[in-house]
Amino acid sequence: MTTIQSTSAADRTGGRGLTSRHLHFIALGSAIGTGLFYGSAGAIQAAGPSVLLVYLLGGAVVYFVLRALGEMAVHHPVRGSFAEYTRTHLGGAAGFLTGWMFAFEMVIVAMADLTAIGIYMGFWFPDVSRWVWIVVALLIVGAENVASTRVFGELEFWFTIVKVGAVVAMIVADAAVLILGLANAETTGPANLVNEGGFFPNGMSGMAASFILVLFAFGGTEIIGVAGTEAEDPSRAIPKAINTVPARILLFYVLAILVILMINPWHTITGDESPFVQIFTALGVNWAAALLNVIVITAALSAINADIFGAGRVLAGLANQHLAPAAMAKTVRGVPVMTTVILLGVLVIGVVLNALIPESVFALIAALATFATIFVWMMILLAHLASRRRMPPAEAQTLGYRVPLWPLGQYFALAFILFTFGVMAWQPDFRTPLSVGVVFSVACIAMYYATGRNKVAGVNSPLPAAERI
């Protein structure tokens, strides 16, 4: 009978290559992607200026999820991250489902990023079919992902410098436009937050509907827990990375969206192009709009790169525990090559969808990604609650990195996630993605038992994998 086991020492040595600098910038860059540069338009259309409150609420949920994940990762830094933690604290079926759901999430998010690249390229080449650019992007990302872990870290480091610099420059430039009165709109400044229907122009229902795209924007931030286990010093690198989350959310989401809304009235943000690009287009600064378009394409490539990295590591962790096909455990220079190739093959579906339904594919994919994202977050929170319940009080007091506001913060985050599932069931446009997510979950559990994974020795062990990363 096969038994639960950890990654081999050779693989672990080859896989470890991320420094604290890498992890910090991976954490920083995970907040800046397609959800911000493109998806924010849909969220603004749904909620109007009240979308700012949704970003604050969603950011708080992300923070409590990451603190829960950070606590478990520092206490037990194992490859597989939250898939291993859910297996340990909630049972083998939960770990199996969480790992595969995260892989599903990463693939869907990567498809959204690929779709966004096709849309961004339309800024320069409106007559070229979107799927052409998606194929090119897929080839670029595929080449990047066969590199070593350290090369991945370096790429994300420089990608993030570009993204962060762009957002900061945009905020500064927009602030200057407001102060100097250079905007072409009839009204600018705080008045735009209450004009055109007030702060809640579409009511509370519109604000609730924006939850889907807002949480999609935060999807993938949990990669900190995956990458952290491959850092040189997880106990120091993970807390430092997670502790930057509140400032990142306030700066890159709330402040960035605030200045956009103060320059362009919310109803003028159509989604035909990135809201960030739209600002400079409206100002007639075409070279700035073109430059920013280059940056948002870079951001999307970076996000796809990180998505494949995260999914590959989690699936490799499952394979090492015999909860995924054994071929997925094969690594070269620390990179799960076979898993990466499989993921790239699945992403071809995104090419087909963009060729068949280019107008509606982004909204559909974003909704699917949101289901998978918040489901994984929910499992992380449940695993953390279970870990605390079985932990002796004396041991809990000695934890080097603990969640704040225990347990109120965890219950708040869980309630918000359950409410978002309710929104998906309530909104007709999101019922299909919700149904697909439920079917995928049921299929995963069925496969868990049909393939005999439930009989793997130690699959329900309450102890993390024996070997630590």
pLDDT digits (tens, 9 = 90+) for 358-393: 666 667 777 788 888 899 999 999 999 998 988 888
3-state SS assignment for residue 194: coil
Rounded to whole angstroms, the Cα distance separating 222 from 212 reads 17
Domains of the chain: total: 1
Domain assignment present for residue 382? The answer is yes
Report mean pLDDT in 10-residue bins for the chain, 469 residues: 44 51 64 69 86 90 89 75 83 88 82 79 83 82 69 75 78 73 64 82 86 80 70 74 77 83 80 70 70 79 78 79 80 74 78 68 75 91 91 81 88 93 86 89 92 80 55
Which residue in 222, 221, 230 sits closest to 18, CA to CA?
Answer: 230
Rounded to whole angstroms, the Cα distance separating 433 from 421 reads 11
Rounded to whole angstroms, the Cα distance separating 426 from 206 reads 12
Task: Find how far residue 201's CA is from the centre of its chain.
Answer: 28
Yes or no: say if 313 and 230 are a contact pair by the CB < 8 Å rule.
yes
pLDDT at 11: 41
Q: Alpha helix locations (H) across 181-254?
A: 203-209, 211-218, 223-228, 234-242, 245-249
pLDDT tens profile 157-177: 787 788 778 778 777 877 777
Distances (CA, A) of 197 to 194, 258, 265, 418, 462: 7, 17, 11, 29, 54
Q: Running DSSP on this structure, what letter comes out for residue 451?
A: T
Residue where the block lists tokens 């959310």? 249
Domain assignment present for residue 72? The answer is yes
What are the φ and ψ backbone dihedral angles of 375, each rounded to 5 degrees? -65, -45
Rounded to whole angstroms, the Cα distance separating 306 from 70 reads 18
Yes or no: say if 98 and 82 are a contact pair by the CB < 8 Å rule.
yes
Domain assignment present for residue 33? The answer is yes
Domain assignment present for residue 165? The answer is yes
Lookup: tokens for 461: 């062990």
Domain assignment present for residue 469? The answer is no
CB burial of residue 6 (10 Å; 0-12, 13-18, 19+): buried
pLDDT at 8: 38
Yes or no: say if 87 and 351 are a contact pair by the CB < 8 Å rule.
no
Domain assignment present for residue 460? The answer is no
Distances (CA, A) of 11 to 79, 210, 335: 11, 42, 9
CB burial of residue 32 (10 Å; 0-12, 13-18, 19+): buried
Yes or no: say if 64 and 381 are a contact pair by the CB < 8 Å rule.
yes
Beta-bridged to residue 332, according to DSSP, are: 335
Lookup: tokens for 102: 């995260």
- Which residues does 362 contact at the CB level (< 8 Å), separation at least 6? 38, 39, 112, 115, 116, 119
Q: In whole angstroms, how large is the CA radius of gyration of the chain?
A: 21
Taking CA 377 as the corner, what is the angle to CA 375 and CA 380, rounded to the nearest 5 degrees?
Answer: 115
Q: Which domain holds residue 278?
A: 20-455
Domain assignment present for residue 10? The answer is no
Distances (CA, A) of 332 to 12, 15, 145: 11, 9, 11
Reported residue count of the chain is 469
- pTM greater than 0.85 (yes/no): no
Yes or no: say if 445 and 59 are a contact pair by the CB < 8 Å rule.
no
Yes or no: say if 159 and 298 are a contact pair by the CB < 8 Å rule.
yes
Q: Running DSSP on this structure, what letter comes out for residue 128?
A: S
pLDDT at 15: 46
Rounded to whole angstroms, the Cα distance separating 25 from 165 reads 12
CATH of the domain at 408: 1.20.1740.10
Q: Running DSSP on this structure, what letter comes out for residue 122?
A: T
Domain assignment present for residue 70? The answer is yes
Yes or no: say if 171 and 255 are a contact pair by the CB < 8 Å rule.
yes
